[in-house]
Each structure stands twice: as C-alpha cells, then as structure tokens.
Structure 1
Amino acid sequence: METTAILVKAGQLLLSLSILVVLHELGHFIPAKLFKTKVEKFYLFFDPWFSLFKFKKGDTEYGIGWLPLGGYVKISGMIDESMDKEQMNRPPEPWEFRSKPAWQRLIIMIGGVTVNLILGFLIYTLILWHWGEKLLPVANVKYGIYTDSVGYKIGLKDGDILMSVDNKPQEDFRDITKGVILDEAKTIQVIRDGKQVDVHIQEGFVGGTIKKKGPIAAVRLPAVIDTVLAEIKKVETPAYKAGLRAGDTVLAINGQPVQWFHEISKLVVKDTGKTISVTVKRGADTLTKSATIPSAGYLGVNISPDRHLEYVTKHYTFGQAIPAGFTTAIETLVDYVKQLRLIFVSKEVKASESLGGFMSIGNLFPSEWDWQSFWTLTALLSIILAFMNILPIPALDGGHVLFLIYEIITGRKPSEKFMEYAQIVGMVLLFGLLLYANGLDIWRWLTGK
C-alpha cells in the first residue's frame, strides 16, 4: 500500500477514535460534575510517565496522552485503571465517587455507553438526511453474479441471479452475504436459465466466506473499460502503455474470448512477466494491443458498476431520517452481537480469522478521504464501543455497573479490596485481548494472509 494511502487511513482512524473517546469520557464527566463529584483528570489517550499536552482548569487536569489506546477520566474516590490505592486508604470525602449514592454512581458509569449509543444514532440520522441511502436492488443485478471456489462448492454458478435467502427477499444485493453469514441461512434462491433453483448452504461455507473476507458473490459486468489507470505505485500501467482507452470493450486476451470484466483479471494474472495481446472493440474498429504484465499481475483498468447497473438512492427528510437512523443503529448493534455470537458458538468461525486490532480497523477506512465513509464507520465504531464497554467485565464500564446493580439490589457494597482485585483481573484480560488482536494483525501483515 502506498505511503499516502496508509497515512489517509491512519488519519481517519485517529480522528474517528479521538471523537469517540472524547465524547465517551464526556459521558462520564458531565454526570460526575452534575452530582458534584471531583474529576481529577480528563485525557484523550493514555499518559503513562508523561503527556503530550495538558492544562488545568478548576479541579480538573485536561490533556492528551502519547499512547493512543483510548482515554479516561480520573474520578476521585473511584477504583479505576489508575489504581490509586493511597487515595482509597484515606477516609472518604463528600466530593468523592465512593461517597455518592449508588444510583448516582450508576448514572456516572453508564454515561459513556449512553453517549456512544446516542452518537451512533445521531450520525446515522444525519448521514441518511444528508446523503440518503444508496441501494442496489436485487432485481437490478441484470447480468447476474460471478463467484469463486467457495461459492462453487455449494452450487452457485456464474450468471446466477440471486433472489432471496431462506426464501426471504433481500432489498439490497449487498445484504445477501450478511444474511447468509449472520442468520446462518440454509438456502439461497437463484434464477438460473429462467428457473428458480434452491442452492443449499453446506457446512464450512460460512467459515470459508469469513476467511476469504469477501462477499459470497460479486456482480457480473460486461468487459467494458471505464477507466485506464495511468500509474500504480508510481509506475505506468500496462494498459496505459498499450494505449487502451476508456470505452474500449475487451474482446479477447491472448486470443481467448472475454465477455465479462472479471475474466480479464483471471486471464491476465496467468501471464505475469509476459507480453500479452489485448483485442478490443473501439467504436466500429477492432484493435489488438500488446501489454507487458508486471509481477503483481495487473493490467490497470477499472469498471464502474454505477455506469452499468441501476442503483437506487432513498432520500429522507430530517423527520424521516430520525426513525430510520434509530433503526439503522439498532440493526448495527444486533448484527455486531450476531458476529460475536458466531465466534463463540460456530464451529466454522475461528477467532484467529475474525478478530483484529487497530490495523484491521484502519483498513476499513478508504484510502482516499471520504466524509460519508468516515462518518458511517465512526457511527459503526460508536455502536461497537458502546456494546464492548457495557460487557460485565471488571475494568470496563459494564463491570462497574454490575457491581453497582448488585449493591442496589442487596444493599451491600463490595469491599474495596475485592474491587481492586477485580480491576486488576479485568485489566489483565483486556490487555491480553488487545495484545492478541493486534498480534494477529502483525502476523497477517508479515505473512500476507
């Protein structure tokens, strides 16, 4: 990947996480202040040993740490990641967290999760209001699909027109893969040679689809060149050197007939390092060009599905976008829970193939700055952050909430020693998971898997 693309992805990830972390911590900070609880620190990113920037206003030190793994607010009289035992050994003060009623402490602790849920809903609402919702109706995939070995294994064929999953119609073609994987569907209905056929999903298909990190099928498009790339990695592309042009229809590669665009890549990759002939139709003329294919195995041409398929954009008024944004946020949350469930209960899905760290998250962002993609991914990450933080694991907000609910129900407060040990256990678990997930990213990068 080019340096510029890496920097753009990293910049979008950093900005997105900064927004989410600051607002999440603000969700704790505001109710703490409302309940007259002292907040000693408010930090974006962690600051072990030193901070990049800080200033003090009132009782609170605000700053930016150097370790971009999250952020925190240090609330007086609370056992948290700071593990400030000296403060906890002193008699409680009225302005400390531990001196407040359980219901106030509960509101303070769920504040971050609440903000992230609301933020996800608001972003989705504004996206739908400003950009609308772009769909590719299943009925508009007029050329059918092409698939790979994973799809062939269950009986999908190039040219199939996908219609439904488990006889449930899909509004958007791109929802089909999600329906198959997350709902663990048993059949896919396709139109083949003018007849409806049931394709039965066999064991191992979901795991194979997740492993290859792609859709179960892609739209098939005619072999028309929409864009001739001038450079890839600062080197002129074979197509550009050969004189291919936008609008050319590829008829053959090395004399082998081509009808569909995806067939170009399949044929070109077989002849890396060699010079091939590319026969194209340009207007009324048929031309043959020579192109030398580099070791990376590309010709340097693109096709735009928008020019060949009819997409539909749903537009929303602000009033319509509010319920639609709420529905999208809930569906996002439900889909994420289903993904986690697959990791723990499905025999086909391996954690080592599904988990990822900051590199995996960063790769979700496009290599060119795009605000619609940025805000869509920020909304997704906000929902994920809310769910992960409410899990009843010590050191997370959910762990504190669990102990507070226990206190409210029983009237008994867990001992501070127990809370200290629980915090340590939780931090070890979280840092272990963090190291594992990011270690997987590094391993995949080193091995190219």
Structure 2
Amino acid sequence: MSPILIQALQFLLSLSLLIVLHELGHFIPAKAFKTRVEKFYLFFDINFSLFKKKIGDTVYGIGWLPLGGYVKIAGMIDESMDTDQMSGPPQPWEFRSKPAWQRLIIMLGGVTVNFLVALVIYIFASYAFGDAYISTKSIKDGYEVTNPVLLDLGIQTGDNLVAIDGQTYDSFQELRRNLITAEQITVERDGQQRTVTLPEDFLGQLSTGEDISLFELRFPFIVREVSDSSLNKGADILKGDVIQAIGGTPVRFFDQVAPILDTLKNKKVPVTVQRDGQSLDIPLEIDAEGKLGIYPGGSYNRFAELGYFDTVIREYGFWESFGVGMNKFTNQLSGYWLQLKKIFTPSTGAYKGVGGFKAIFDIFPDFWSWQGFWSITAFLSIMLAVLNLLPIPALDGGHVMFLLYEMITGRKPSDKFMEYAQMVGFFLLIALVLFANGNDIYKWLFR
C-alpha cells in the first residue's frame, strides 16, 4: 500500500472517530433532556449528502466536505444559521426552552467527551504498549545543533541539553516536546553549565527559518545504500557497514563527516568500516563536491546496540496504567495550552507556525502503527477539545460564554443578538481556517 495512502487512511479514521464522538457528546445529553436533534452528521452536507437516513426525529448522514461535523439541535442558532425555526413560539422539545444548566451541559458535552477519549486512550495505550524512550542520561556526547537561531545564541553541536526552564527530563522525547514552549534552557559544555534565555519570538524565528531542527540526536554513519551516480558504486561497501574513520581521521558521528570530506575533495582515501565485528579499510573516492555518494541509515535499536544511547522500555500493570495515563493526559493538556497561549501572543511570532489540515496530515507516519495512531489521536482529541472551548460564538466555547453570562446575570441574550454573534463567530472561524491552511500552502510552496 502506498505510504501516502496509509497516512490518508490514518488521518481520515482519526478525525472521523473524534468528530463522531464529539458530536455524540452533544447528542446524548440533548436526548437525555428530551431535546430534539434534527441532524447528526459526519462532515458537512452543503447542498447534498453522501449518505443519509432518518431514524425517529433525527437524520443521520455523511456529508461530502470533510471539515468537521455537527448535530443540529432544534431551537438553537448554530452554524446552520436556520433562523426560521426561531420565529415561532418556543416548543418544549427545543433547546431554547430548556433551563440554562441543561443547555450548558449539552454544549459542554462535546469537549467533555474529547477530554475523556484522550484520557482513556492514554490509559489503555500505556497498558497495551507500555513506554519506550531514549534516556537523556545515556547521551554522553551532546546533541547535533544546526539551527541558526540556536547557533546565534552560542549553542553548538556537542552541547548537552540539561534542563528546560529549570526542569530535567529522563526521556529525550519529553525533552524535545517541552522545548517548544521553553523560555530558558540549560546547556552543558566541557563540564560547565550555563543558562540561555531564548528570544521572545523564538517560535516565530523557527517557523520562518529554513532549518526547523532543534536539538537532534547524534548518529553514527551507517551505510544504507550507495547512490547510482556515486564514484563508489562498485566499491566493497555494504548496507549496515559502520564508518569509523575517513582518511585516518576518526568518525564517531555522522555530523563529523562533512568537514572531513570537505578537505579531501577529488581524492581516494582509505575508509575504515566495522562489519560483523571486524574493522576493514576500504579505498573510496571523494568527488569534487566533497561527497562519498553514500546514504546513511540505521534504526534507534541499532544505534542503541552500538552504545550511542540507552533505550528504556517500561511495561505497566492494569491499575498502574491509570496513573500513568492520567499523567500523560495532564502533561499533554498543559503543554498544548502553553502552545496555544504563545500562538495568541503576537510578540512570540508563534502564529507563523500555525498549520491546517496538511500539518495534521503530516503528523501521521507513512507506515501503520496502532501505537502511533492512538497516541496521535489522543493528542488531536485534546486539541479539538481546547480549540472548541475558545470563546468564539461559532464554537462550543462561544455558546458556553453566553450561557454563563445568562446564569450569572439572569438575562438571556436575545435571539437576534445570538444570530449576529453566530455570524461574526462564523466569519472569524473561517478566517482562522484560511490563515492556518494558508500557512500550509506557503510552507509547501516556499520552504
């Protein structure tokens, strides 16, 4: 199966699952409070539906525009902008006739379900798959640093990232994830530590730069394949060989190779490789551009076997997985909230990195992994819940905002006001969608 097709299937399956569950979160309390639900749709059905069937008072269907989904609740001004239903007197089965506390529960149902879905996924994924991570304590020779922003701050390859905002991490993956919202980092070089304050627009600079890498693991040069155009196409070099020296100069990391080759252009030199526990010297040619024409490869497991870092594997019992899953949920939620806060703070420039559907699509790997799929789905569920809580009238958060106002003041906003608010929120939401997807297009065309 095509890698792109695998990505697309994961993307559609994950979003469809989350959308249906989100809308169920509205549907179930609406039915429980005897509120009529006229439509329950996956995707939007502008002008026509791919599928629809009426059961009772509700039409269940699948639309053709995969930008979300909705439930149409009677007596409520929503994204359908059906104002005709509001012209008559309120009916007992309508949303507007229900007490404010019931309407609040109905509106909060979607995000509540999304939070619960993420929590349940983290719990059962911890039990089913456990955790595997790279130990930061096992990384002895620092990280590879190529990003101009970090280089300008005096950080260089070989520096070890010790702490983020004063906090240390056992897992390299956790370290990388928290680096996105960091304000200060502590690095170590030659046994000396120093704390570096990141610029306020750090995320903005990363988003607009050509190099978006941060602290990367340093890998050995393991041969994956020899290019067909390489001068070394017929040489005795095999997949899996580990290059240990070039022209007598030791090579431990792949990032050391380019500077060495740059001084040996148009030369034929002995290259020492490790193969099946033995060291072999193989004469290889370096072209005029300082290239061997050999592609690197290898896996984390192979790197760990060679002693570059340690991979820690943890398994959890059923009851233990509840605490582990809750911890993952709260960490992911707080981390995403910090990212969102930076996005809505213009001085950080983080808004430049906002992505749309392509950015979400790219999160999924081009191979099928249930562990990866559920991990991404849990994160997207949190993202969907948090975004829906934004106080924009077209979103659940906007309705909640007006309901809280009604419950506190005892005054209900008029239907005309809600209609105008919904229109403003709808156009604002469209603008945000266009901006996010416009960023995707810009990056695709110019980066």
With structure 2 as the length reference, what TM-score do the two structures score? 0.88
Unaligned runs of 5+ in 2: none
Q: Does structure 2 conserve the Cα–Cα contact (< 8 Å) formed by 1:9 and 1:367?
A: yes
**Structure-1 residue corresponding to 2:344:** 344
Distance 1:255 1:9, change over 3 A: farther
Q: Does structure 2 conserve the Cα–Cα contact (< 8 Å) formed by 1:44 and 1:71?
A: yes
Q: Does structure 2 conserve the Cα–Cα contact (< 8 Å) formed by 1:243 and 1:289?
A: no
How far is 1:346 from its partner? Answer: 6.1
How far is 1:378 from its partner? Answer: 0.5
Q: Does structure 2 conserve the Cα–Cα contact (< 8 Å) formed by 1:336 and 1:384?
A: yes
Give % identity: 45
**Structure-2 residue corresponding to 1:197:** 193
**Structure-1 residue corresponding to 2:356:** 357
Q: Does structure 2 conserve the Cα–Cα contact (< 8 Å) formed by 1:154 and 1:205?
A: no
CA distances 1:312-363 after superposition (whole Å, capped 9, x unpaired): 12221121111221221121111111112222336342422x1111001111
**Structure-2 residue corresponding to 1:170:** 169
How far is 1:370 from its partner? Answer: 1.4
- Secondary structure of the 1:145 match is coil
Which residue of 102, 105, 130 maps to 2:103?
105
CA distance in 1, matches of 2:144, 2:443: 27
CA distance in 1, matches of 2:129, 2:367: 18
Which residue of 121, 133, 139 maps to 1:141?
139
**Structure-2 residue corresponding to 1:279:** 271
CA distances 1:149-177 after superposition (whole Å, capped 9, x unpaired): 33332222332333223443222223334
Q: Does structure 1 conserve the Cα–Cα contact (< 8 Å) formed by 2:183 and 2:197?
A: no
- How many pairs were matched up? 435
Which residue of 223, 226, 237 maps to 1:244?
237
What letter matches 1:288 in structure 2? P
Of 149-158 and 202-211, more deviation after overlay is shown by 202-211
**Structure-2 residue corresponding to 1:312:** 312
How far is 1:47 from its partner? Answer: 0.5
Of 65-74 and 9-18, more deviation after overlay is shown by 9-18
**Structure-2 residue corresponding to 1:324:** 324
**Structure-2 residue corresponding to 1:8:** 6
**Structure-2 residue corresponding to 1:39:** 37
CA distance in 2, matches of 1:127, 1:297: 43
Which residue of 55, 72, 89 maps to 2:70?
72
Distance 1:70 1:105, change over 3 A: same
Q: Does structure 2 conserve the Cα–Cα contact (< 8 Å) formed by 1:254 and 1:278?
A: yes
Please give the residue correspondences for 1:170-249 in structure 2 after superposition, counting only pairs within 5 Å. 170-185=169-184, 187-190=185-188, 192-193=189-190, 195-203=191-199, 205-211=202-208, 214-223=212-221, 225=222, 228-229=224-225, 244-249=237-242
Q: Does structure 1 conserve the Cα–Cα contact (< 8 Å) formed by 2:271 and 2:283?
A: yes
Unaligned runs of 5+ in 1: none
Q: Does structure 1 conserve the Cα–Cα contact (< 8 Å) formed by 2:44 and 2:63?
A: yes
What letter matches 2:132 in structure 1? K
How far is 1:197 from its partner? Answer: 2.1
Q: Does structure 2 conserve the Cα–Cα contact (< 8 Å) formed by 1:275 and 1:291?
A: yes
Distance 1:82 1:48, change over 3 A: same
Q: Does structure 1 conserve the Cα–Cα contact (< 8 Å) formed by 2:44 and 2:64?
A: yes
CA distances 1:207-242 after superposition (whole Å, capped 9, x unpaired): 44454574532222333x1x62589xxx89998875
Distance 1:419 1:15, change over 3 A: same
CA distance in 2, matches of 1:343, 1:39: 35
CA distance in 1, matches of 2:33, 2:270: 73
CA distance in 2, matches of 1:88, 1:266: 72
Q: Does structure 2 conserve the Cα–Cα contact (< 8 Å) formed by 1:241 and 1:291?
A: no
CA distance in 1, matches of 2:293, 2:92: 69
**Structure-1 residue corresponding to 2:252:** 259
Distance 1:60 1:67, change over 3 A: same
Distance 1:202 1:125, change over 3 A: closer
CA distance in 1, matches of 2:293, 2:69: 43
What letter matches 1:156 in structure 2? I
CA distance in 2, matches of 1:280, 1:31: 69
- Secondary structure of the 1:155 match is coil
Q: Does structure 1 conserve the Cα–Cα contact (< 8 Å) formed by 2:225 and 2:239?
A: no
What letter matches 2:417 in structure 1? F
What letter matches 1:52 in structure 2? L
What letter matches 2:28 in structure 1? I
Of 437-446 and 305-314, more deviation after overlay is shown by 305-314
- Secondary structure of the 1:98 match is helix
**Structure-2 residue corresponding to 1:302:** 297
How far is 1:403 from its partner? Answer: 1.1
CA distance in 1, matches of 2:22, 2:249: 58
Distance 1:156 1:132, change over 3 A: same
Distance 1:264 1:197, change over 3 A: same
CA distance in 2, matches of 1:236, 1:19: 46
Of 175-184 and 248-257, more deviation after overlay is shown by 248-257
**Structure-2 residue corresponding to 1:128:** 126
CA distance in 2, matches of 1:156, 1:54: 58
CA distance in 1, matches of 2:292, 2:61: 48
Aligned CA RMSD, in angstroms, stands at 3.1
Q: Does structure 2 conserve the Cα–Cα contact (< 8 Å) formed by 1:52 and 1:66?
A: yes
